Every structure is written in structure tokens, then in C-alpha cells.
Amino acid sequence: MKIYNFAAGPAVLPLEVLKNVQKDLVEYEESGMSVMEMSHRSQVYQTIIDDAEKNLRDLLDIPANYKVLFLQGGGTLQFSMIPLNLLKVKAGYINSGHWSIKAISEALKVGYVDILGSSEDKDFTYIPRITNIPEKDLDYVYYCDNNTIFGTKFNYVPETKRPLVCDMSSCFLSEKVDVSKYGLIFAGAQKNVGPAGVTIVIIRDDLLDSPSNLPTYLRYKIHADKNSLYNTPPAFNIYVCGEVFKWLKRIGGLDEIHKRDVEKAGLLYNYLDSSTFYTTKVEKESRSIMNVTFNTPSADLDCEFVKDAEKMGLVNLKGHRVSGGLRASIYNAMPLDGVKELVKFMDNFAKKHQKG
């Protein structure tokens, strides 16, 4: 039975990439070694990480005055590293849900935080529109672009003259981004880019200077100066990310993948909007095309939905423990056929349980 994996992360990877990785697993390009066992100081691996960075720069058109770092620790470590490196007096944060709250909590351990806006009043079912940011004394402005738990997505870039910091973990490489608008972008790889264990940071050169009393590993400049090789990196995982970057370039880049993502999300949202059985709480202008959240008429039916879906090869549709309900994560690598099968199952499930 074919399995379609709707997990929020670690998430589905392109089948073509998995097959290439399988082919190279025992021996990478006549090196006599697997990437998993070769030295990260070898010329072979240097080429792998250099190519990964180059292809990422090509995909996002990253300006020359930005460094690309391949780090560890996930987005969770970035919640701490960002204020440790950038927060001198005060930072501004937009609260759009669970991951923003975690980031705010870590920043408060370092300095002062201004909450510039929040959607907590409606249980994070919309993205707050922030204008006229009070920039005095702000070292940076922070937001999470796409919210996996609640299924929301910023449809605008906050305007500020202060360095803009963005968590793009769950929408990274799903569309073109003007990197020059940001001081720092970070993304955990395990949503759209590769296996868990790699965190990509794109940081403007002028933000690299950090307090000298920080522990060495927590300083962005250390990693930038050593080209992400200060210590042993998650070498194999970076290699897989590099293969995903190549795949994206082969299929037509971010314009093409965004077109595919919009088509998949449109199919699912159109069905939800036409249904009298399912509901989705997210306001239309704030809908994510990566994570679609919805509910049946009851929590018991939500549980039954998940169990029945698994029998049909549609797995990991249970909502996050914070929000409950149901969630379909339809990242770049989810094929259109997977969403079609999901909609077909949803329709049959609704007909089976619809009253009247």
C-alpha cells in the first residue's frame, strides 16, 4: 500500500532525492566511502557543503553580504542564539502562536521584549497586521512566518528599519523571498529541506559581531569564520539538504514549487470551504499553504478519522497536542496525488458520518 506522510516534521522528502541518496549511500561518487563516514575536513566533503551553499544561494538569490550557516540544535537553539547575539537593550516580537511564545520566553532571559502585536485574543487563528512599529531602542524585530500548529502564515513582510529576524522553518523554500529585507532568517531543515539535525541560518554580515563573553559555539561569527565547519557538522544531513536544493533547481526553482504548493493547498481548502461536515478556524487571509488545520464535528470523530485514514495509507493527520483536531502538512515534497487521495478519503468519511 502506498503511504502518504502528512507529518509536520520530520516530514516527507522527494522520492527522487531518496532514491539518489540510496544510490550513493554505500559509496559517494567513487570516493570509496559513504558520506556518513567520510571526514568533514576532506576535499570530497568540502565540495558537498560548498555545492549545497551555492545552490541555496542560487535558489534564494542570497546577496553576497550574507553568510549561509549550516548549524545544529534546531529552531529551539535559535530562539536562544538570536537574543544572545543580537539583543543589547530591547527586541520587538510578534506573537502568532506556540513557536513565537517559545522564542519570546528565551529572549526574556537575555533582555527586554516588546510584544508588537498578538493574535492570542482569537486563539491564534489569524496573523496580526503590524504597522508603524515603534522602533526606538529595538535591536531587532522578530516573527515566525508560518505556524505549523495553528495553520497560519504571514501574507506580508513587516516593515521596519531595524534588523528583521524571521523563523521560516516550516515554509522555507516554498516561495521566493527577498532576503535583503531581513537581517537574519533561520529554518530547521526537517520540514521542507531535509532530515532533522540541520538548521540553516542566513545572516547579514553586519550582525555577526556578538558579545565576546558568549560561549564560543553560540557565536554566529565563529561559525561564519569557519564556514560551518567549526566542529563536526551533521555531515550526512547537510548532504541530503544539498540533494534537495539540486532537485528544486531541476524542477524549475521556487516559482515552480510555489505553483505546485498553491495548487495542492487550493484543492484542500476548496473542499473544506464547500463542506458542511469539516470546519477550519483559520481566517482565509491568514491560511498556510504548508499546514492545513481542520476539524470534524467532534473530538471522537477526529480520532476515528485519524485511525481510518491510516488504514488507507494516509498517515500523521492528528493535530498538534496544543491545538488538537486534524492537520495535513503538505510540504514541497508532498505530491498532488497525495492531496487528491486525502480529499477523496475526507469526502467518503464525511458521507459515512454526515447526519441528515
One DSSP character per residue, 194-233 reads SSTT-EEEEEEGGG----TTS-GGG-HHHHHHTTT-SS--
Q: Which residues are catalytic?
A: 99, 167, 191
What is the pairing mode between strands 90-95 and 138-144?
A: parallel
Q: What is the mean pLDDT of the chain?
A: 96
What whole-number distance in Å separates Cα of residue 237 and Cα of residue 48?
A: 11
Q: Are 226 and 220 in contact (CB under 8 A)?
A: no
Condensed to tens digits (0 to 9), the pLDDT of residues 4-23 reads 999 999 999 999 999 999 99
16-251: CATH class: alpha beta
What whole-number distance in Å separates Cα of residue 194 and Cα of residue 197?
A: 9
Residue 1 has pLDDT above 90, yes or no: no
Residue 132 pLDDT class (50, 70, 90 cuts) = confident
Condensed to tens digits (0 to 9), the pLDDT of residues 170-218 reads 999 999 999 999 999 999 999 999 999 999 999 999 999 888 899 999 9
Q: Are 35 and 20 in contact (CB under 8 A)?
A: no
What whole-number distance in Å separates Cα of residue 281 and Cα of residue 284?
A: 9
The contacts of residue 213 (CB under 8 Å, 6+ apart) are: none
Condensed to tens digits (0 to 9), the pLDDT of residues 309-347 reads 999 999 999 999 888 899 999 999 999 999 999 999 999
Residue 146 has pLDDT above 90, yes or no: yes
What whole-number distance in Å separates Cα of residue 198 and Cα of residue 233?
A: 9
Which pLDDT score, from 0 to 100, does residue 210 have?
85
CA distance to 13, 69, 82, 224, 236, per residue, from 87 (Å) = 35, 20, 7, 19, 33
Residue 43 pLDDT class (50, 70, 90 cuts) = very high
Beta strand residue intervals within the chain, DSSP E? 4-5, 66-71, 90-95, 112-118, 138-144, 146-147, 152-153, 164-167, 184-188, 199-204, 291-294, 314-315, 326-329
What whole-number distance in Å separates Cα of residue 291 and Cα of residue 301?
A: 20
Which pLDDT score, from 0 to 100, does residue 137 have?
87
Domain ranges in the chain? 16-251, 253-353
- Topology given in CATH for the domain delimited by 253-353: Aspartate Aminotransferase, domain 1 (3.90.1150)
* For the chain, percent of residues with pLDDT exceeding 90: 92
| Whether residue 10 has a cis bond before it, omega within 30° of 0 | yes
Residue 232 pLDDT class (50, 70, 90 cuts) = very high
* For the chain, percent of residues with pLDDT exceeding 70: 100
Radius of gyration (C-alpha) of the chain in whole angstroms: 21
Which pLDDT score, from 0 to 100, does residue 211 have?
85
Q: Which residues pair with 279 in a beta bridge?
A: 295
Give which of 317, 293, 320, 323 is closest to 304, Cα–Cα.
317
pTM: 0.96
What whole-number distance in Å separates Cα of residue 325 and Cα of residue 193?
A: 26
What whole-number distance in Å separates Cα of residue 288 and Cα of residue 151?
A: 5
Which pLDDT score, from 0 to 100, does residue 30 have?
87
DSSP code, position 41: T
Q: Which residues pair with 202 in a beta bridge?
A: 68, 185
Which pLDDT score, from 0 to 100, does residue 356 have?
52
What whole-number distance in Å separates Cα of residue 102 and Cα of residue 147?
A: 13
Q: Which residue is associated with the grid cell 529554518? A: 187
Residue 150 has pLDDT above 90, yes or no: yes
Q: Are 293 and 282 in contact (CB under 8 A)?
A: yes
- Which of 63-67, 151-155, 264-268, 319-323 comes out lowest in average pLDDT? 319-323
Task: Please classify residue 29 by burial: count the beta carbons closer than 10 Å to its beta carbon, then call 0-12 exposed, 13-18 middle and 19+ buried.
Answer: exposed
Condensed to tens digits (0 to 9), the pLDDT of residues 64-100 reads 999 999 999 999 999 999 999 999 999 999 999 999 9
